[in-house]
């Protein structure tokens, strides 16, 4: 499809010999927000990781084009430089490296790869603090080791902060909403909405409808048996919330945690 930022065709991926993704197709245009839902083990996180280039995933078929390029041929850091960002489901701790130092190193590495000059440290600090204020994050987190001793909510907010500072073109959020209480969820959602722009795209990998109450997706896809089983608009998520995942997979339908 022309005009796509991300174009996935017939993607097949194995992990340790097991087929996880199988002939998956997905088109994401600039400015669009796609929610990827589906039962546990349906391959949601695998999709997120393959797009970011995590080692350990074997692509056995299909292709992924990003901004007209073969995304799978690029190294992890090259994908990052081209604007692919993954918010981790389990953000990693980096002891002894302060959050601000990490942000600065990351941003300047990206800028260097793009042939842009390094950002002035004070300028960066000001813009980071402004975004933290928006997210209602404690500035003290800047001077602590990356995610070191952060609460679950702080870690997820920190991922969104990184996204806001690094300004990617395609942000993939891997279950950023899981494990958050309602206040933290609202803050994270607010961050995502600030990020939304007509030249930026988002893929929200999520179990639950509840994030979509705050971040309205353009499309909702249900991943089943390693491919997109159903697609629809924002209303599909509401339908899933009530009826669970349609039993087209042959396995027992799993209810989402959103059903209480």
Query: Which residue ranges make up the site for another protein (CB under 8 A)?
Result: 50, 52-59, 72-77, 79-81, 85-86, 88, 91-97, 102, 105-107, 109-110, 113, 145, 162, 166
- Nearer Cβ to another protein (95/233): 95
Q: Are 176 and 160 in contact (CB under 8 A)?
A: yes
Nearer to another protein, 101 or 178 (CB): 101
**Shortest spacing between CB 81 and another protein, in angstroms:** 6
Sign of CA pseudo-dihedral 242, 193, 226, 155: negative
Q: Which CB, 200 or 210, lies closer to another protein?
A: 200
Query: Of 141 and 236, which CB lies nearer to another protein in the complex structure?
Result: 141
Tell me the β-bridge partners of 94: 146
Under 8 Å between Cβ of 197 and 111: no
**How far apart are CB 45 and another protein at their closest, in Å?**
13
Residues 6+ apart with CB under 8 A from 92: 146, 147
The span from the CA of 71 to the CA of 213, in Å, is 31
Distance of closest approach, residue 98 Cβ to another protein, in angstroms: 8
Torsion sign over Cα 14, 17, 19, 23: positive
| Residue pair 26/8 in contact by the 8 Å Cβ criterion | yes
Residue 20 CB, nearest approach to another protein (Å): 13
Residue 53 or 258 having the CB closest to another protein: 53
Using CA atoms, how far apart are residues 12 and 150, in angstroms rounded to an integer?
36
CA distance 32 to 169: 11
CB of 94 to another protein, least distance (A): 6
For the bound state, the minimum distance from the C-beta of residue 49 to another protein, rounded and expressed in Å, comes to: 9
Query: Which residue, 59 or 190, has its beta carbon nearer to another protein?
Result: 59
């Amino acid at each position: 499809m022309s005009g796509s930022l991300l174009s996935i065709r017939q993607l097949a991926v194995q992990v340790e010999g097991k087929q996880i993704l199988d002939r998956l197709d997905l088109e994401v245009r600039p400015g669009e927000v796609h929610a990827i839902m589906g039962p546990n083990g349906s391959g949601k996180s695998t999709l997120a990781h393959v797009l970011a280039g995590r080692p350990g995933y074997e692509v056995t078929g299909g292709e992924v084009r990003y901004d007209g390029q073969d995304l799978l041929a690029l190294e992890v850091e090259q994908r990052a430089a081209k604007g692919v960002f993954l918010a981790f489901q389990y953000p990693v701790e980096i002891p002894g490296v302060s959050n601000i130092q990490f942000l600065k190193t990351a941003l300047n590495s990206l800028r260097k790869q793009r042939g842009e000059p390094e950002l002035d440290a004070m300028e960066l600090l000001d813009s980071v603090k402004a975004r933290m204020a928006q997210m209602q994050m404690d500035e003290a987190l800047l001077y602590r080791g990356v995610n070191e001793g952060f609460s679950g909510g702080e870690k997820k907010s920190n991922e969104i902060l990184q996204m806001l500072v690094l300004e990617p073109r395609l942000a993939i959020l891997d279950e950023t909403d899981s494990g958050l209480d309602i206040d933290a969820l609202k803050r994270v959602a607010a961050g995502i909405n600030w990020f939304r722009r007509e030249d930026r795209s988002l893929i929200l990998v999520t179990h639950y409808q509840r994030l979509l109450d705050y971040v309205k997706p353009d499309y909702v896809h249900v991943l089943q048996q390693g491919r997109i089983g159903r697609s629809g608009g924002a209303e599909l998520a509401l339908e899933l919330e009530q009826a669970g995942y349609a039993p087209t997979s042959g396995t027992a339908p799993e209810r989402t945690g959103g059903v209480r």
